Amino acid sequence: MILSNLFAVPLVLLTLLIATISGCATMHRDVPKESFPATQYDAVLLQLSSRQPLNIDELASKLEGIDVVIVGEYHGHHASHLLQSSLQAALYRQNPKQVLTMEQFELESQLELNRYTEGESGESEMIEDAAAWDNYRASYRPLVEFARTRDIPVLAANAPADIVRCIGQKGPDYLDTLDEERRRRLPQKPFVDTPAYEEKFIAAVSSSHGAGDPSTKERIQNIYHAQLLRDNTMAMRILDARRAYPDHQILHVTGTFHSEERLGTVAMLESRAPEISVTVISPVFWRDPQSPPPIEEHRLHGDFLYFIQPLPVEFRDPERKRAATNARFSQSTLDPCN
């Protein structure tokens, strides 16, 4: 996710949800408006190079031989999670040598995740011990269960939430306060970035909160460094999977902000290992059923796009929205980062 809910910036970009697949390969070049996804489970999947709709098996066929497949999501959107699960199974049918890497588990929870996939603990124990996300059962259980029952390795890929939160509060120098063992688990260069990513991130955050006064600018920069720690950690963990399972295809699931436009995790991954092949699949909201899908404005978001229904509006009362935002941003009186 762009920001953990521990210091959440309420960006619609990163808290929304996504899609499964509908689409007939016989449709013509311009996707007709009649293809608008019928339910919150549905999506229209499109290959940008041809603008041809695809079904899930056609997508999997086009991904054969790709080293790393990254599927962006709007966290919690039914369509995103159905798409990920369907693609996982389709890729497995082609090549059972697969690894699943997940933003939704922190790397320090790997042991607890292993205990579950190896049959040493139950699901509720794993959810508690591995600090699984609140929507694990509704959104990520299918991915983990598919992997568990087929002996597919599952790697926890995210940075520890407490470290991310404290960098968001204190800045990148907070890493210097960590003990040697915890620091060693993180990337050597945890804040590698690209100018385009910083520009995109600052624009997204500033649109929600403004960036006028110096304290706000400093806060946004700290949050950006926290975001970079997540991206660099996920890139590191994908490469860990490549080293541990060199002949396997990696399926990585993550919030779309981390991967769209080949920025974030994708850019960090490619800077570390330019020789590997990476394909990005990104969600796009198709907001108006009377209009064609918004291909042009999102064509750089991924190698493949999947169009889904937008989520319901969270707030219509501006005062309630402001209060919710302030509550998310307020810091505890007990500062765990000192």
> How confident is residue 149, by pLDDT bands cut at 50, 70 and 90?
very high
What share of the chain has pLDDT > 70, as a percent?
85
Asked if the model's pLDDT at residue 6 lies above 70, the reply is no
Asked if 153 and 100 count as a contact pair (C-beta separation under 8 A), the reply is yes
pLDDT bucket at 208, cuts 50 / 70 / 90: low
Among 71, 53, 73, residue whose Cα is nearest residue 2: 73
The reported pTM is 0.88
Phi, psi of 52 (to 5 degrees): -95, 130
pLDDT of residue 20: 32
pLDDT above 70 for 28: no
Q: Are 100 and 152 in contact (CB under 8 A)?
A: yes
* Of 12-21, 104-113, 141-150, the least confident: 12-21
| 103-132: pLDDT as tens digits | 999 999 999 999 999 999 999 999 999 999
Helix axes 214-244, 265-272, angle to 10 degrees: 50
As a whole number, the mean pLDDT across the chain is: 88
Q: Pick the closest to residue 116 from 132, 102, 103, 92 (CA basis).
A: 132
Q: How many CB atoms lie within 10 A of CB 266?
A: 27
pLDDT at residue 334 tops 90: no
Q: Quote the pLDDT of residue 325.
A: 77
- The residues with which 46 forms a beta bridge, in sequence order, are 53, 305
What's the pLDDT score for residue 7? 34
Greatest mean pLDDT among 193-207, 244-258, 322-336: 244-258
- At residue 29, the pLDDT reads 44
Name the helix (H) or strand (E) containing 238.
helix 214-244
Distance separating alpha carbons of residues 245 and 60, to the nearest angstrom: 20
